[in-house]
Amino acid sequence: MDTRRIGSLTVSAVGLGCNNFGTRLDLKGTGAVVHAALDAGITFFDTADIYGRGRSEEFLGRLLAPHREQVVVATKFGMEMGNGRKGASRAYVRRAVEDSLRRLRTDRIDLYQLHRPDPVTPLGETLAALEELVRAGKVREIGCSYFGAGELTAARDAAGPGARFVSVQNEYSLLHREPERGVLEECVREGMAFLPYYPLASGVLTGKYRRGAEPPPRTRLSTNPEWARRFLTDQRLAAAEALAAFAAGRGHTLLELAVSWLLARPAVASVIAGASSPAQVRANVAAAGWQLAPDDLSMVDRLPEEAT
């Protein structure tokens, strides 16, 4: 497994997104996925306090305890946890980190991320609170999510000489290209790592969904009508079919194209792919091995739009 950098952290080029833990997967199912990830060389585990209302962190804390020195654990804070627990004020940052440390059974969080901008709390207050956590040794690096280019610039200016965001985690895939409108450029300019979530467009870029066909049973998009309406559009499925044909013509799969294309993009540090089975973990890791030629990259960039 290739490794890349997020600030001072060294992470596997393919990470494990942990939003299924405590929701779609119980502890036993989570354990099977986590152990498959470790066996495949994944060292980067990305979760959030909101995933499973804390259960994802709890499961990871139990399962990763014997491997704590060999893995990089990232979590997030800020979204509504119930009973008014949300936001990015200094007081809440202090409370949220202690809750996550307890659930994760660890004395430090490697990458602590603001899950989304807080419209109420000044960024300077949040960054000052995070700087305190870094100085106390409870957090090694800090990052953010759902930040646009302008918000990243504002965060840089607000940080001053203190701790700065070393990463931003936004949706990015062959079928969702919004980060190319400023965010990736800002990451390159500031030396920030970019972490794409939904890298497989909720499974559309695995090839298991087809136009005119019902979603396969027990898949996420077969049980969530709202997500199905968002991801299973004719436009997206047509683009996925064109991309799959391109990959097949070069002896590869659509999954391999989706992951390897992301790893070839500027600033991308680790592709955070979720999984609900050990087989999916192994497939995601294996997909990272295609080194796309420059001409192929240019062609792939145009295919989704041309297909629709």
Residues involved in catalysis = 51
Distance of CA 187 to the CA centre of its chain: 16
CA distance linking residue 192 with residue 79, whole number of Å: 23
Q: Where are the alpha helices (DSSP H) in 88-192?
A: 90-104, 123-135, 149-159, 183-190
| Phi, psi angles (nearest 5°) of residue 10 | -105, 125
On whether the CB atoms of residues 164 and 199 are closer than 8 A, the answer is no
DSSP state of 128: H
**Burial per residue of 91-115, b for 16 or more beta-carbon CB atoms within 10 angstroms, e otherwise:** ebbeebbeebbebbebebbbbbbbb
CA distance linking residue 19 with residue 257, whole number of Å: 23
CA distance linking residue 19 with residue 47, whole number of Å: 6
